[in-house]
Structure 1
Amino acid sequence: MAARALTCTLTLLVWAGVSLGQLVLPNRQNGAVGGNVEFKPISFPSDTYQVITWRFGETIVIKSISGSVSIPRPEYRGRVSLDINTLALELRNLTMGDTGVYILTADTAASSYSAETTLKVFVNVSGATITGPTGLVIEGNSANLSCDASGTIVTTEWMKNNQKLSPSNNIIFSADNRSVSISAVGRMDSGEYRCTLSNPVSSDSDVFTMTVNYGPDNVRIEGPSEVEERGSVMLLCSAESVPDPRYAWTFNGTNTGVTTDSLTMDQVTFSNSGTYTCTAWNNVTRRETSASHSLVVREIGSLSGGVGSLSAGAIAGIVIGVLLGVALVAGLIVYFTKFAGRPKSSSRGVKQNGATQNGGEHELNYADIRHFQNNQSVLNMGGTSTQTRQGTPAMVRAHRGANQGAKPEAEVTYSEVRK
Structure 2
Amino acid sequence: MDKNTEGTLTIVLLVLIQGVLASGAVEVQPSINPAVVGTSVTLSLSPPTALKSGSWAVGESLILTWLGDQQAAFPGYSGRASVNVLTGALTLSSVTVADSGVYMVQSSDTQLKANASITVLEPISNVTLRANQTELVEFYSSAVAACSVSSGSSLYFLWMNGSSEATASNRVQLTDRNSTLIIVNVTRYDQGPFRCLVSNPVSNGTSNPVNFTISYGPDTMALTVNKQNTTSFLIGSNLTMLCSVQSNPPAQLRWAFRGEHVNTTGPLLDLFNVSENQSGAYSCLAFNNRTKMNSNITVHIIIAKPSLSGSEQQVVNLWLLPLLLVVESLFSLAGKL
Q: Normalising by structure 2, what TM-score? A: 0.64
Q: Distance in 2 between matches of 1:309 and 1:39?
A: 104
Q: Distance in 2 between matches of 1:84 and 1:269?
A: 110
Q: Distance in 1 between matches of 2:112 and 2:86?
A: 15
| Aligned pairs for 1:26-45 within 5 A | 26=29, 29-39=33-43, 43-44=46-47
Partner of 1:118: 117
Q: Distance in 2 between matches of 1:233 and 1:99?
A: 79
Greater RCO, 1 or 2 (C-alpha within 8 Å, sep 6+): 2
Compared CA separation, residues 144 and 275, structure 1 to 2 (3 A): closer
Compared CA separation, residues 288 and 73, structure 1 to 2 (3 A): same
Which shifted more, 80-89 or 133-142?
80-89
Which shifted more, 158-167 or 53-62?
53-62
Q: Distance in 2 between matches of 1:103 and 1:132?
A: 47
Aligned counterpart in structure 2 of residue 238 of structure 1, from 244, 248, 261: 244
Decide whether the 8 Å contact of 1:215 with 1:285 is kept in 2. yes
1:215 Cα deviation (Å)? 1.3
Q: Aligned with 1:176: secondary structure?
A: coil
Decide whether the 8 Å contact of 1:191 with 1:211 is kept in 2. no
Decide whether the 8 Å contact of 1:128 with 1:147 is kept in 2. no
Aligned counterpart in structure 1 of residue 25 of structure 2, from 22, 25, 36: 22
Q: Distance in 2 between matches of 1:121 and 1:309?
A: 94
1:106 Cα deviation (Å)? 7.9
Amino acid at match of 2:213: T
| Aligned pairs for 1:201-280 within 5 A | 201-206=202-207, 207-223=209-225, 224=228, 225-270=231-276, 272-280=278-286
Decide whether the 8 Å contact of 1:80 with 1:92 is kept in 2. yes
1:284 Cα deviation (Å)? 0.8
- Unmatched segments (≥5 aa) in structure 1: 1-18, 303-307, 320-419
1:87 Cα deviation (Å)? 7.3
Amino acid at match of 1:177: N
Higher radius of gyration, 1 or 2: 1
Q: Aligned with 2:25: secondary structure?
A: coil
1:216 Cα deviation (Å)? 0.8
- Unmatched segments (≥5 aa) in structure 2: 1-21, 315-337
Q: Distance in 1 between matches of 2:73 and 2:238?
A: 98
Work out the percentage of aligned pairs sharing the same amino acid.
25
Q: Distance in 2 between matches of 1:86 and 1:226?
A: 100
Alignment of 1:294 with 2:300, yes or no, is yes
Q: Distance in 2 between matches of 1:24 and 1:175?
A: 39
Aligned length: 282
Compared CA separation, residues 153 and 23, structure 1 to 2 (3 A): closer
1:62 Cα deviation (Å)? 8.8
Q: Distance in 2 between matches of 1:273 and 1:86?
A: 103
1:78 Cα deviation (Å)? 6.9
Deviations 1:74-125 (A, max 9, x none): 97677567789997655443223423332346898xx565432223323333
Q: Aligned with 1:94: secondary structure?
A: coil
1:221 Cα deviation (Å)? 0.7
Deviations 1:355-392 (A, max 9, x none): xxxxxxxxxxxxxxxxxxxxxxxxxxxxxxxxxxxxxx
Q: Distance in 2 between matches of 1:237 and 1:243?
A: 16
Partner of 2:331: none
| Aligned pairs for 1:342-361 within 5 A | none
Q: Distance in 1 between matches of 2:271 and 2:82?
A: 89
Amino acid at match of 1:140: F
1:285 Cα deviation (Å)? 0.3
Q: Aligned with 2:297: secondary structure?
A: strand
| Aligned pairs for 1:66-81 within 5 A | none
Compared CA separation, residues 101 and 185, structure 1 to 2 (3 A): same
Amino acid at match of 1:237: C
1:24 Cα deviation (Å)? 2.0
Partner of 2:12: none
Partner of 2:288: 282
